[in-house]
Amino acid sequence: MFWQFIGLYGEEYGVLNHLDEIDGRHTQNAAFLKMEDFDDFMDSGFYRTIFANTAAWLEELDRKQMLP
């Protein structure tokens, strides 16, 4: 399962800012996108980022032969 976290209007997001630094995970199955303005939500760049993160995770699973 891939988790995409999105933060709006915040300064501190705790562990979400450090998802890539968590040791012991079998895959990079979580990403965090920080957005300063809700108007950016509908921007096509937002969707490209979301899908790029998911695609990278699927490619990682394929490389590691973790897909059925």
Please say if the pLDDT value at position 41 is more than 70: no
Interval 19-31 mean pLDDT: 87
Residue 40: the pLDDT is 63
Q: Which residues contact 31 (CB under 8 A, 6 or more apart)?
A: 2, 3, 4, 5, 19, 53, 57
Is the pLDDT at 65 greater than 80? The verdict is yes
pLDDT at 37: 73
Among residues 68, 42, 39, 56, which one has the least CA distance to residue 4?
56
At 67 the pLDDT is 86
Supply the pLDDT for residue 62: 95
Q: What is the 3-state secondary structure (H, E, C) of the chain?
A: CCEEEEEECCCCCHHHHHHHHCCCCCCCCEEEEEECCHHHHHCHHHHHHHHHHHHHHHHHHHHCCCCC
Q: What is the pLDDT of residue 20?
A: 78
Residue 3 is predicted with a pLDDT of 92
